[in-house]
Homo-oligomer: A and B are copies of this chain.
């Protein structure tokens, strides 16, 4: 088995602004290819700049990997133990290897990955589409563009959250997810907002406070009328136990969980602990998105919109039908390269 990789800086459809005011026009991605016999497995590390990884850290990590040690190419437990032994971080780069191995598994067995993992199209829920923080007239345009989606996700935590929600509600009555990305400081404000958001048809509230502020998360969860979901606070399996009393659910993302293998363990563990689950994504190509979709029926909420955030990408974007992503019948992830 051989590993090669390629760095891309893909243009975004819209300049993307978070609640903290940071914005960007491109997003760095590294595509991985695992070559095994005559097959190629594709994987992806999506590395938005507010997280710890980038093209350079990915290069350093991939160059450390000795794929000749993968005696059993689908011994995921052993391969993940090896990757974690190489570095404690690099979760997106690890996810890229994991996704490429899963694509290979499907290609070698000539089966779609979702089928190998026991997923069914009928169990896939509609996905939300993120609307970045925008000026009012731009907002209307973005909501229009997202008309194929049944749910929208809004980014809160900027100067006037109420005005943003009100502006959105002038244009659409779709159900919404709200994501604060750690932006709120005041728990009383958060509680007032949770009631307001409930009134406004917002289904859930993600990561209102700084990721280590579990005390305020727990306080809000006990009082909020809508579910509180941890994103930045819950990265990997080792984080999940301490979430039980702090939040109602967790956002599982392949780029945090080092890929599908540990994401499945997160779903199992969350179920045992009585936590709801959301499957999320980064700004990413169809490669990581099809990987997430392959296990998305396990989630209570689906928030997979990466490819729609990009102006260009190497692969075809999944088809949407009634707001639901459609599985590909092709082997593995089901990717089609765009020429």
Interface residues of A (CB under 8 A from B): 37, 71-78, 105, 108-109, 111, 117-118, 261, 264
Contacts and interface: CB of A to CB of B under 8 A. Distances in A.
Copies of this chain, complex-wide, total: 2
Given A37-B109, A108-B108, A74 B77 contact: no
A72 B78 CA distance: 12
Nearest to A117: B71
21 contacts: A37-B109, A37-B111, A71-B117, A71-B118, A71-B264, A72-B74, A72-B76, A72-B105, A72-B261, A73-B74, A74-B74, A74-B75, A74-B105, A75-B75, A75-B76, A75-B77, A76-B78, A77-B77, A77-B78, A108-B108, A108-B109
Contacts of A78: 76-77
Contacts of A72: 74, 76, 105, 261
Contacts of A109: 37, 108
Contacts of A75: 74-77
Contacts of A264: 71
Contacts of A108: 108-109
Nearest to A73: B74
A117 B77 CA distance: 18
Nearest to A101: B72
Q: Lowest 10 A-B CB distances belong to which pairs?
A: A74-B74, A77-B77, A77-B78, A75-B76, A72-B76, A75-B77, A108-B109, A75-B75, A108-B108, A72-B74
Nearest to A264: B71
A187 to B, nearest CB: 40
Contacts of A261: 72
A334 to B, nearest CB: 17
A38 to B, nearest CB: 10
